[in-house]
Amino acid sequence: MNMNDDQKLQSEAASGPAQAGKRPTFWWDVKNLKQAVANGIEPGGSSYTGHPSQFAALALREAAALLRAGDTVAFPTETVYGLGADARNTAAVEAVFAAKGRPSDNPLIVHIARRSQLDELVQQVNSTAEALIKAFWPGPLTLVLPVKPGVLSPRVTAGLDTVAVRMPDHPVALRLIAEAGCPVAGPSANRSGRPSPTTAEHVREDLQGRIGGIVDSGPTGVGLESTVVQVGDDGTVTILRPGGITAEQLAAVCPAVTTDPGLAGAAGPDTPAPRSPGVKYTHYAPRGRLSVVEGPSPAAVTGLIRRELAVAGASGERTAVLAFDEHAADYIGQRVYSLGSLDTLQEAGRRLYGVLRRCDEDGITFILAEACPPHGLGAAVMNRLLKAAGHRVIRADEARE
């Protein structure tokens, strides 16, 4: 893709998005840009050096121009890949919903590149929210704050009087948002309900031909979406969605931390409008039937999983287990997808969505996943597993022998 200015893109965008699955999707490989920034090299400027990162910087300007023109662009963050659109442009935001097949009552997170952008979007930021910003921005923390009337498309807020905002900790995302010159609405760049994308290839699998372009910066780091919190007038921090920032980390900054009771169970179409993205409907699901197995001991869990897999396999199911390294050897003869060690749940966060997609690639129809302790990052891992499983849980202490 080679553009001289935004005018050509604006003309193309004005004709409206092409039929889903039929439009061209541009691809920009900007891995060299991320590496250059990590090495302290600042690409760009008026002089041409021939450094590979300069090509990447130019590609990113093209992607930003597409956003300004009202189109959709998938981009990397430190958590997962997002599907970006100008958050002020209703037609652009509606194209995000259409590409994803996302329910319209599900609000979107708005991404910014500078702290000053936040004041343009929200009515107030109290002292507790400021403390969280100082501690965790840029980073995987989203704040739900009272939105200023008329500054964003109403489709972004899903009719609520609040907006979810974060500043990603990723050099490519920050540069893209700054180049676009607009707040960028960006849910995960996947078809609604599917596992979130942690690589550009995952985005291509789900959205090729449905969106304007994909910015490829390699695999993401955290692998799970951001933590979403709402700060009350009294300074209480309520976790609406667990993620890359743990409750323990939040409590170190703001002692009054609680969890939204709605996280405890499954939600559906009759549940009230969610205050946070990604909490109402089944998300992250593989095509096969997934259940999470809990129990009083590892031996009880592994024993139940082996029995259930044997029964399912005998009935013709193609079976697999999502296991932690400490127990993987207990499933001899079974297809095992490793989530890493229980001692390093960060690795489970990085692997989970990729493993769920591998199950689809391998045609797995019956999947059992070991539960992990719901503490620290384990709260986010369990949240995603339970959402992917539609809250189907098998308890070893309750199962029939």
Give one DSSP letter per residue of 26-56, joined into a string.
Answer: EEEE-HHHHHHHHTT----SSS----HHHHH
In the chain, the amino acid numbered 310 is: A
Q: Are residues 162 and 57 in the same domain?
A: yes
Query: Torsion over CA of 96, 101, 103 and 109, rounded to 10 degrees?
Result: -30
96 within a domain of the structure (yes/no): yes
CATH number reported for the structural domain that contains residue 317 in this entry: 3.40.50.11030
The CA-based angle 6-8-10, given to 5 degrees, is 65
Q: Are residues 204 and 334 in the same domain?
A: no
| CA distance readout (Å), 213 to 28, 66, 104, 181, 189 | 8, 8, 23, 18, 11
Q: Are residues 315 and 202 in the same domain?
A: no
Give one DSSP letter per residue of 128-177, joined into a string.
Answer: HHHHHHHHH-SSSEEEEEEBPTTSS-HHHHTT-SEEEEE--S-HHHHHHH
177 within a domain of the structure (yes/no): yes
Would you give per-residue pLDDT tens digits along the chain (401 residues)? Answer: 444 444 444 434 333 333 445 789 999 999 887 666 666 655 544 433 456 667 788 899 999 999 999 999 999 999 999 999 999 999 999 999 999 998 877 899 999 999 999 999 999 999 999 999 999 999 999 999 999 999 999 999 999 999 999 999 999 999 999 999 999 999 999 998 899 999 999 999 999 999 999 999 999 999 999 999 999 999 999 999 999 999 999 999 998 999 999 887 655 555 455 566 655 556 789 999 999 999 999 999 999 999 999 999 999 999 999 999 999 999 999 999 999 999 999 999 999 999 999 999 999 999 999 999 999 999 999 999 999 999 999 999 865 54
Last residue of a domain, one of 171, 186, 216: 216
Q: Are residues 210 and 69 in the same domain?
A: yes
Token look-up 């130019």 returns 58
Distance, in Å, from the CA atom of 369 to the CA atom of 338, rounded to the nearest integer, reads 10
Task: Report H helices in 15-126.
Answer: 31-38, 52-68, 90-100, 115-121
270 within a domain of the structure (yes/no): no
Strands 213-216 and 73-75: parallel
Distance, in Å, from the CA atom of 67 to the CA atom of 84, rounded to the nearest integer, reads 8
Distance, in Å, from the CA atom of 298 to the CA atom of 370, rounded to the nearest integer, reads 9
228 within a domain of the structure (yes/no): no
Residue 377: domain span: 289-395
Burial of 4 (0-12, 13-18, 19+ CB in 10 A): exposed
The residue among 344, 325, 345, 346 whose CA lies nearest residue 336 is 325
Last residue of a domain, one of 201, 216, 231: 216
Q: Are residues 199 and 326 in the same domain?
A: no
Paired tokens of 149: 């009337």
Q: Are residues 50 and 184 in the same domain?
A: yes
Q: Are residues 196 and 89 in the same domain?
A: yes
Q: Assess contact for 86 and 68: CB atoms under 8 A.
A: yes
Residues in the chain, overall count: 401
Q: Quote the pLDDT of residue 13.
A: 38
Q: Are residues 185 and 304 in the same domain?
A: no
251 within a domain of the structure (yes/no): no
CATH number reported for the structural domain that contains residue 171 in this entry: 3.90.870.10
Q: Are residues 87 and 189 in the same domain?
A: yes
99 within a domain of the structure (yes/no): yes
Q: Are residues 207 and 302 in the same domain?
A: no
Q: Are residues 185 and 312 in the same domain?
A: no
Distance, in Å, from the CA atom of 258 to the CA atom of 393, rounded to the nearest integer, reads 24
265 within a domain of the structure (yes/no): no
Cα 160 from chain centre = 21
Last residue of a domain, one of 194, 216, 238: 216
Number of domains present in the structure of the chain? 2
In the chain, the amino acid numbered 380 is: A
C-alpha torsion sign, points 345, 346, 348, 349: positive
Distance, in Å, from the CA atom of 322 to the CA atom of 87, rounded to the nearest integer, reads 37
For residue 257, the SS3 value is: strand
C-alpha torsion sign, points 165, 167, 173, 177: positive
240 within a domain of the structure (yes/no): no
Q: Are residues 20 and 154 in the same domain?
A: yes
- Write down the pTM of the prediction: 0.88
